[in-house]
Structures are given as C-alpha cells and as structure tokens.
Structure 1
Amino acid sequence: MQNQSIDEVVESIARSLGRGVSLEDPDGVLLAYSSHQATADRVRVNFLLSKRVPADVSEWQLRHGIAQAVRAVAVPANEDLGMLARVCVPLLVRGFRVGYLWVQQQSSEDPASGILAALPRVRPLVDRLAELLLETDTASSERRTQREATFLAACRGAAAAVEELRGWRELGGDGPWRLAVVHEPMPAPDEGGDPHEAALLQRTLALQATVGVAPVLFSAGASGFSVLLCASGVGTAALQQVLERFGAGTARRAGRPAGRMVLGLSEPTADPRDLAEAFHQARHAVQAAAVDPQLGDVCSYADIGVYQFLGTVGWQAPAHGSIHFAELSEADRVDELLPVLELLYDKNGSVQDVAAHLHLHRSSVYNRLARIRSVIGADPLAGMVRLELHLALKARRWRSRPRFELG
C-alpha cells in the first residue's frame, strides 16, 4: 500500500510538471518513476532498466552538490554521458535526507528555470512523498547499514572503525560527544526470533525517533537496543522526546504496546577512541535504570551511584547477598521488610516519605524497622550495616539487569 501511494504521488507530480520524474533513495537505487515519457535521454532509459544510478552519472550529479543541497539543484547536461539537463529535488523530513526526486528537462531549449518556477505548486506533493519515504524501511539501505556497522564497531573499540569515524560530518568536527543507549526492559513476544529482524526494527525505530532532534547526531540499532551519538549538551527534554517516539514506533511497528522505555547516557568524551568506554557507561546506566525505576527513564552514568561499581571486571556479589541480607530474605516471606528498608535508604531515612510512597501509616514503617532489628540483631540504620544492606539490595536488582552486547 505504501509503495502504491508513492507511485501515485510520483505520477501526480509528473502530470503537474508535464515532465518525466524519477525517485531514488540516498544510495541511488530507483524507487519509482512516472509513466510520462515525452522525452527520455539515455541516462533515464538505462536507469529505469538497471534500477541503479551508474557510477559515472552519480559522480557527475554529486559534483553539483546534491548530497549537501537542501533546495532544488539544476544539474547541467553531459553530452558524453548521453544526459540531458535535469533538476534534483532533495527530499528531507525534519532535516533528514530520505531520497531525491529527479525532473528531466525535455530538451536544451527547456530551461531549468521553468522547472524551478513550477516546483512551488507541487510542494505539498513533494513533502508528502518525503513523509512516505520516511515510513518505508530506509534503515535497510545499503549505505545506512554500512555506516551503522562502522559506528557500532567504533563503540566496540575497533581501531579501523574509529579512524573512519573521524571523517564523518555527523561528528561535527571536534567533540565532546555523549553516547546514549535506549532499551525496552520487557521480554519481547517474539523472543528467540530472528536477531536480524530485531536489529532492523531497532535501527528503524532509532532512525525515525531521532529525525529532527538536533542534539542526536547519529543512531544505530542492534538486537534489542539502540545506540545514539549525541552532542555533549543534549538535554533531558530532547531525550524524553526520543523515548516517546520510540514507544510510539514500537507500538506501530511491533504490533504490541510498548513497555517502559529507558535511556542511559554516558559522560562526555572528546576522542573517538574513547567511544568504547562511553558505550560501557551508557550501557551501565540503562541497565541500572531498567532495574531501578527510581533512577528515572533518562539516566546519566554519573547519577547511578553504587551501580557504577556493580558489574565491573572482577567484582562478584555473593549469591545470597550478605549475612544480614540472607537473614532478612529468609524472614521476609511476604515481602514486607526489604521493600521498606530499600525505600528508606533511597529516601534518605525519611519515614514520612516511605509511608507516603507505600500508603502506610508511619507507625507501620516503625514497626517493620523494629522487626528488621530483631531479625538481624543490629540497627539497619547504623553505618556499616546500612552500607551492607543497601549494597545487597542494589546487587539483587542488578542481577536481573538486561544483558546485551554489540556482538
């Protein structure tokens, strides 16, 4: 249905302009063309047959700045290529380039100025075409796939990928940058399915969720999560907007309601060689946010507290947590004591805040604290005991964190 709609829009534009029109993606692959054939040069005929722009024609077009253009560009004729002059209309949605619309001039006596003057009347159709293209799987284009693979390899620390990344326009010259990891911490209904399909879904979601969000410079998807390259000054409001779009996109494309979306944000880094460490921080932060809702849906690595220590190389929490924690776990058969204790620690010891949060009377909170003292034979608010139990509670959460790697 979407392809039919694209074809219909292309035909409408061709009829309105009275010229042959073709549509290609950013990689030069033919997506649609009009039946209007008043004049067709050798390049157009070969393009319609091969479905891809030849290298020599692509080089001629790129030489005239179409890859950077945000407005229509007149590309002159090239007799050696058998190419009449034509006008290239870049198709952009909120700043993201989704393809090119080509309008062929009918002869050397058909000036580009006539086409350029006529374009405003088909502007609504051109905008509609760009929106339709964005709704297709632009994330699956060959160029996009290769660039995302390079970006993720740099996040793994691959030296060759890091060097290739240095020349990317998206990096905006010098840093610093921050990495963000987006994850939906709930089992997918098709868990155990095709990881390539899961990765394509994430890539498509990330691409569409970040279009027009200026502080997000690039995005890539892996199976079960997405990685965003952000400007160092990216704010919470922009990242919340991205999460909302992720949720809406998941519901639309996966055919199910989205779970709680969480985003972990690294500290700034000014060197592409440090992207691997930035990915480690962002992954750590999103894992902490996934298991500990009090951290919020957008969580910076600097704000995850003790979770910075959990999961580091060489650190291993005992299976039972600790002696006092094991005693409390055994006694807390109906889950009354540990939730109160963790919340009390997280609320800076405020019994009133704990009571309000759990809809309890303050006396009930005090009674449960007394039971805890009785079980462990120590004051749970005393320094070392408090540190032990708070760490054990967070380690228990950490053991249920989502696991994902870049491959």
Structure 2
Amino acid sequence: MSEREIQAAIDEIAEALGTGASLDDLTGRLVAYSAQFGRADDARVRALLNREVPEDIREWEERHGTRTAVEPLIIQANPDLKMEARICIPLIHRGVRTGLLYVIDPLAPEDPDRVTTTVNAITGHVELLATVLYEMASPHLDERHQRELEFFAACQGNAGALETVANWPPVRSAASLRLAVSIFATGEDIAEFSETRAAQLRLASQQTVSRYPSVIAGSVQDTHSVVLLRPDNEANAALRLHQRLAAASGVGQPGDTAPERLYTGVAENISSTSELPEAYRRAVIAAQTAAVEPESGTIATWETIGPYRLIATRLRTDGSISDLLDTLVDADPNGDLVNTLEVFYDQGDNVKAVADTLHLHRTSLYYRINKIRDILGVDPLGGATRLELHLALKARRWTRRPRI
C-alpha cells in the first residue's frame, strides 16, 4: 500500500466518523492526516506543520498511557495546548504495536461508550492500517519473528532448532553464552493478569529485548521472556537487562503502584547450544525462586538459589513433605509462628537480625520459639528437625511459584 492509499484510508475513517483523524508511527512522526474532512484543533495543526508530534503534546498523550496502550483509550482535552479530547486507538499486528490512530472526539470523556462505537465503525480500516505499518516498519520483522520461534523451540529441546541456532553467526562467535528468563508475576498467580495488562507487558518486553545490545537471541512468550546473552559483551548484562525491562514495563520503580513485579532467573554460562534446554530449565527455576523467596531479591542465579535446586528438581511438592510443619501450620492460623521460624532459620540464629526483621522484642522472639517447641514436642533448632523444617518451609514457598 502506498502513502496515497494510506491517506485514502484515513480520509475514509474521518468520513465514516464525521471528525478529524490522524495516524502517527511509534517515533512520533505524523504519517497521515484527514486534511479534507472535519476540523483540526491547534494541537494537530502544529503536528501537521512539523510532520511530527511536538514534545509537549506527546508528553500529554503519554500521561494517558499511549506509550504502552494496547486497547483504545481517551485523551482528555488540554486547553493550555489548545487540544481537544480524542480517542487513541493502538494499531497492533502479530503482537507488535505499529502505530497510533487518533480520532478527535470532544464528547468522549463524558460518554466512554463512544470508544466502543468508534472502534466498531472502523474495525476493518484499523486492521488494514496496522498490517500496512507493520510491513512498512521493517522488511526484517517476519525474519525476526521466525528467529524468535526457532530460538524458543531450541530452548525446549527441538533438535532441528538447536542445530539452526548453533549456526547463527553471533552464537558461533561467542566465547560463552548465558541464558536469562524474566517473569512478570502479581501476587502468587500469574493468571491474575488481565488480557490488556498482559499484552502491555509483552509489548514492553519485545521492545526492550529487541534493542538491547548484549542480546544475541530472544523470545517473548505470554508468561515470560527468554534471552540469550553474550556475557563478555557487558558486565552484569542480565542485571542491566532486568532493570531495563522493569523500567519499560513500569514495575519495580520507586513509587510505582503497579501490582506486578518482574523476576529474573539466570543460568550459569554455557559454551554450546546443546546445553540450551538445561540452561532454560535452570533459568526458569531461578526466576520462580526469585518470585517466592524474598531472600533472593528480584533477580536470582542458578548457582545461588540453594535448596530450591533440590526442591524443584528432586522433590514432589504437590503434597505435604513434613508432618512437623503440618502440625505447626494447623496450630498457627495467623502464620506468625511459621514466619518467625523461617526468618530465624534464614538469619542463621542471629537473634538481633531476626528481631529487627520481624519488629519484635527479643523476649517476644524467644516466647515464640518456645511456643513452637511446645506445639511440636521437639526442639525446632536441633539438627535433623531444623533441617527438615527449613527445607519444608522452602518447599511450601515453592508451591506458590508463578507457573510457566
């Protein structure tokens, strides 16, 4: 489709809706505007004259969520910018945001149903424009999509995909490789995400992974992203990528209110793509550990997750593994004693650190330990009992991990 045909599509949208419409790409460049139909506010005229969205207008639009939007939203009017209210419709093709369609509608803020009515009236044009911008954006997008599929298949052990990935020049030339898996989780269940929020997180991950210089290969799935890094290209590459993913998605930042958090797991370095499936499994376990174990922080490496290496690979955790822990849990409906015991174990009997962590006086801490001893009928700090309970507590956490 030529630019003339894109312009014709925008004019048809404007005619169908009876108002001005415009199309921006993701860089802020004005692609097309319905110059022959409907009035334009001063804000859009400025964009038309400059062929790009002015910074103050883009900032106002982004305050309403246009940077990560995957569903239509309303942009409120801004008298200071001489800007009327409008509806923003993200254009998405094959999971990739390709542009933003704006329709001027001063009545939209008072009648949110107008968003649905507007979108329904121009659905065919929206799908067409999304496809066209996708094809115009880069002739390599289809190739990139295929490479993502092949890479993820290799991580899952597909022999043909492993052979293909092994022959990619960046992989062949790397002295060593490191695999990282990042999971967005909210609460204890990744399934709590709305479809809209899940799509936003996926798009943010795609844009970050595709642009990060240390990434040799990457694939973004519905529940997680997996990347192959060249560790000798940048110190702490996995940590820095984790930070960029968190920033791009709006989670884990100072003062943010998002219920989600990003957790990343990193496998040890590998020297051959034949090791990818095992590295992927280990990186997933490390990421899940970070999601359930506060001691790990938000990024964990396979080498440092301790008992979870055993729990995830050797133990069945779909049922009870300790009668002692079951007894304590049953006698502790508020969970205070269970939490106290786990913190005590984690802090290596450092009474001051435990008291500070739990905000307890030492006397209260000793009282709780004695109460646990009375409930169990054995000393929870003694040898084999301690080992059993500590491992059981971690296995209990593991049952809450976000599933992939």
TM over 0.5: yes
Is 1:248–1:258's contact at 8 Å kept on the other side of the alignment? no
> SS at 2:170's partner residue?
helix
Is 1:217–1:228's contact at 8 Å kept on the other side of the alignment? yes
Q: Once the two structures are superposed, what CA deviation does each residue of 1:195-244 show, in whole Å capped at 9, x if it has no partner? A: xx95x756543343246644332221011110011124477754343233
In our comparison, the structure showing a higher alpha carbon Rg is 1
Alpha-carbon shift at residue 280 of structure 1 (Å): 0.3
Is 2:162–2:273's contact at 8 Å kept on the other side of the alignment? yes
Q: TM-score, normalised by structure 2?
A: 0.61
- TM alignment of 1:99-110, pairs within 5 A: none
Task: Show the counterpart of 1:281.
Answer: 282
Alpha-carbon shift at residue 168 of structure 1 (Å): 1.4
Task: Show the counterpart of 2:24.
Answer: 2
Q: Residues 249 and 270 of structure 1: is their aligned pair in 2 closer, same or farther, counting only changes over 3 Å?
A: same
Is 2:210–2:218's contact at 8 Å kept on the other side of the alignment? no
**1:245 aligned partner, one-letter code:** R
Alpha-carbon shift at residue 366 of structure 1 (Å): 0.8
Instruction: Give the fraction of aligned pairs with identical amino acids, expressed as a percent.
Output: 32
Alignment partners' CA distance in 2, 1:337 and 1:139? 60
Task: Show the counterpart of 1:295.
Answer: 296
Q: Residues 211 and 154 of structure 1: is their aligned pair in 2 closer, same or farther, counting only changes over 3 Å?
A: closer
**1:276 aligned partner, one-letter code:** P
Is 1:262–1:286's contact at 8 Å kept on the other side of the alignment? yes
Q: TM-score, normalised by structure 1?
A: 0.61
> SS at 2:313's partner residue?
coil
Task: Show the counterpart of 1:173.
Answer: 173
Q: Once the two structures are superposed, what CA deviation does each residue of 1:169-188 show, in whole Å capped at 9, x if it has no partner? A: 33252442111000111156
> SS at 1:329's partner residue?
helix
Q: What is the root-mean-square deviation in Å for CA atoms of aligned residues?
A: 3.5
Alpha-carbon shift at residue 378 of structure 1 (Å): 1.1
Instruction: For structure 1, list consecutive stretches of 5 or more residues without a partner in the other structure.
Output: 14-97, 99-132
Task: Show the counterpart of 2:336.
Answer: 336
Is 1:331–1:375's contact at 8 Å kept on the other side of the alignment? yes
Task: Show the counterpart of 2:248.
Answer: 249
Aligned length: 279
Alpha-carbon shift at residue 166 of structure 1 (Å): 1.7
> SS at 1:268's partner residue?
coil
Task: Show the counterpart of 1:125.
Answer: none
- TM alignment of 1:172-251, pairs within 5 A: 173-186=173-186, 191=193, 193=195, 198=198, 204-210=203-209, 213-233=212-232, 237-251=236-250
Q: Residues 223 and 321 of structure 1: is their aligned pair in 2 closer, same or farther, counting only changes over 3 Å?
A: same
- TM alignment of 1:233-382, pairs within 5 A: 233=232, 237-251=236-250, 257=258, 259-312=260-313, 315-317=315-317, 319-382=319-382
Alignment partners' CA distance in 1, 2:141 and 2:364? 60
Q: Residues 225 and 329 of structure 1: is their aligned pair in 2 closer, same or farther, counting only changes over 3 Å?
A: same
Alpha-carbon shift at residue 369 of structure 1 (Å): 0.5
Is 1:139–1:204's contact at 8 Å kept on the other side of the alignment? no
Alignment partners' CA distance in 2, 1:235 and 1:305? 26
> SS at 2:218's partner residue?
strand
Q: Residues 258 and 294 of structure 1: is their aligned pair in 2 closer, same or farther, counting only changes over 3 Å?
A: same
Q: Once the two structures are superposed, what CA deviation does each residue of 1:86-113 show, in whole Å capped at 9, x if it has no partner? A: xxxxxxxxxxxx9xxxxxxxxxxxxxxx
Q: Residues 323 and 351 of structure 1: is their aligned pair in 2 closer, same or farther, counting only changes over 3 Å?
A: same
Alpha-carbon shift at residue 334 of structure 1 (Å): 1.8
Q: Once the two structures are superposed, what CA deviation does each residue of 1:139-172 show, in whole Å capped at 9, x if it has no partner? A: 9921111000000000011111111112213325
Which segment drifts farther, 322-331 or 140-149?
140-149
Q: Residues 10 and 221 of structure 1: is their aligned pair in 2 closer, same or farther, counting only changes over 3 Å?
A: farther
Q: Residues 175 and 182 of structure 1: is their aligned pair in 2 closer, same or farther, counting only changes over 3 Å?
A: same
**2:24 aligned partner, one-letter code:** Q
**1:300 aligned partner, one-letter code:** T
**1:374 aligned partner, one-letter code:** D
**1:342 aligned partner, one-letter code:** E
Task: Show the counterpart of 2:114.
Answer: none
Alignment partners' CA distance in 1, 2:386 and 2:192? 42
Is 2:176–2:230's contact at 8 Å kept on the other side of the alignment? yes
Alignment partners' CA distance in 2, 1:295 and 1:310? 15
> SS at 1:184's partner residue?
strand
Alpha-carbon shift at residue 10 of structure 1 (Å): 13
- TM alignment of 1:27-106, pairs within 5 A: none
